[in-house]
Amino acid sequence: MRDEVPQGPDYRVYRRSVARIGYQVAVVCAALVFLGGALAIAYVFWQSRPAKLSEPHKSEDIRIFLDPVDLTVAGLLVGTAAVICAGLAAWVIARRAVRPLNEAFHMQRRFVADASHELRTPLAVMNARAQQLAALLPRDDPRRAVADALREDTRIMTGIVDDMLETATAGADSATTAPSSYATPFAEVQHGVLDDLRLLADERGVSVRGTDLNAVLAVPAPALRRCLLALVDNAIDHSPEGGTVSVDAGLRGAMVSIRVTDEGGGITGIEPARVFDRFAHGAAPTTPHGESRTRHGIGLALVRELAGRHGGTVQVKRTGPDGTVFELVLPLAGDGFNSGEDA
């Protein structure tokens, strides 16, 4: 019985990979077959010259006469059949070779989904306890602000887990949400993200700078927050002590371009375009104390899927020894915006 291939969300990627490998092998085989055929036909034509045919031969020699035109047609037919057979064989071999990769992606998605399910219950308990703690403190108690922030962080963590679960179970071509469905102030979300990450940045000796752009985006606030959080957190990780992480935003027609810049050594160990692949990561950044923060390739992949889901894009705009620039492009919410100047 033939082994079944997991029909997960990455199945189309698996099929495209198989088809691409088969096509490339078929092209190489076609080039080799037709090159060899061309050389053989050229030799036959060369041997069919009148000068060659009129050469004296010994009586015991056996002479065979071939029609070059018939030989050319036969060669084309045989070569075409050989290329088709080679392409089919390459497709079968590539399918078997790539199948373990598809199964690995399937297992990774299932792991993320299972882990997300398992995290939901303890996060719900943490959220309930954070609410109880906030209720026990008077509103004028300075500790109340910390309890409220803890409750908000728990809610954000729950949203991240929900997004991870949706990402692990959604198809590769998931539907894009209508841009007009949301209206989120960019400045407000950016301010909250930078305030939260300054604690981490200060520990690493990195400064964080934001931008003034009073734009309203057609993206839900939790999704925008998670995109900015992942990009800025990644930039802080790769910035040296004393470096600066900058968030610059500007209008581009009906879109907003958000650029997150660090002053690290650039992306190494992986092609820049692949940093958004799920479970892919480059060389781990090293802190000034010699420690290495490992990454599991989920944060930036989540940014790409969230941006695409809401009509946006994300890419590595530039990377090198002087730093990396990530560009997140998201749609505006109608005409409800007023642009400001960089801070």
pLDDT band at 342 (very low <50, low <70, confident <90, very high): very low
pLDDT (tens digit, 9 = 90+) per residue, 258-271? 999 999 888 887 88
pLDDT for residue 288 = 47
As given in the structure block, the two tokens for residue 79 are: 């070569």
Distance CA 98, CA 17 (A): 8
Task: Fold for 179-331, please state it.
Answer: Heat Shock Protein 90 (3.30.565)
pLDDT for residue 294 = 42
pLDDT band at 222 (very low <50, low <70, confident <90, very high): confident
Average pLDDT value for the chain: 76
Torsion of CA 169, 175, 180, 184, to 10 degrees: 30
Distance CA 80, CA 227 (A): 51
Distance CA 274, CA 261 (A): 18
Q: Looking at residues 96-104, what average pLDDT do you find? A: 69
CA dist 35 → 18, 43, 334 (Å): 26, 12, 59
Which of these ranges, 51-55, 69-73, 183-187, 195-199, has the smallest mean pLDDT? 51-55
pLDDT for residue 247 = 95
pLDDT band at 334 (very low <50, low <70, confident <90, very high): confident
pLDDT (tens digit, 9 = 90+) per residue, 125-149? 888 888 888 888 888 888 888 888 8
Strands 244-252 and 313-320: unpaired
Torsion of CA 329, 332, 333, 338, to 10 degrees: 140
Q: Looking at residues 30-36, what average pLDDT do you find? A: 75
Domain ranges of the chain: 1-174, 179-331
Residue with tokens 């019985």: 1
Strands 244-252 and 207-209: parallel
Q: Looking at residues 20-28, what average pLDDT do you find? A: 75
Calculate what percentage of the chain has a pLDDT beyond 70: 68
Q: Looking at residues 197-203, what average pLDDT do you find? A: 87
Q: Reduce the DSSP state of residue 319 to 3 states and report it.
A: strand
pLDDT above 50 (res 173): no
pLDDT (tens digit, 9 = 90+) per residue, 64-91? 656 666 666 776 777 777 777 777 777 7
- Half-sphere exposure in the Cβ direction for 133 (13 Å, CA): 17
pLDDT above 70 (res 201): yes
How many of the other CB atoms lie within 10 Å of CB of 156? 16
pLDDT (tens digit, 9 = 90+) per residue, 288-332? 444 444 454 567 888 888 898 889 999 999 998 889 999 999 999
Entry pTM: 0.58
Among 261, 229, 233, CA closest to 248: 261
pLDDT for residue 246 = 95
pLDDT for residue 218 = 92
Among 217, 159, 146, 149, CA closest to 188: 217
Residue 61: phi and psi, rounded to 5, are: -70, 145
pLDDT above 50 (res 232): yes
Residue 6: phi and psi, rounded to 5, are: -55, 125
Highest mean pLDDT among 52-61, 98-107, 132-141, 308-317: 308-317
299 neighbors 233 (Cβ within 8 angstroms): yes
Which of these ranges, 32-41, 216-225, 253-262, has the smallest mean pLDDT? 32-41
pLDDT for residue 245 = 95
Q: Which amino acid is at 166?
A: E
Q: Reduce the DSSP state of residue 342 to 3 states and report it.
A: coil
pLDDT for residue 168 = 62
Among 311, 339, 343, CA closest to 328: 311
Distance CA 188, CA 149 (A): 16
As given in the structure block, the two tokens for residue 129 are: 């306890």
| 139-153 CB burial, b ≥16 within 10 A, e <16 | eeeeebeebbebbee
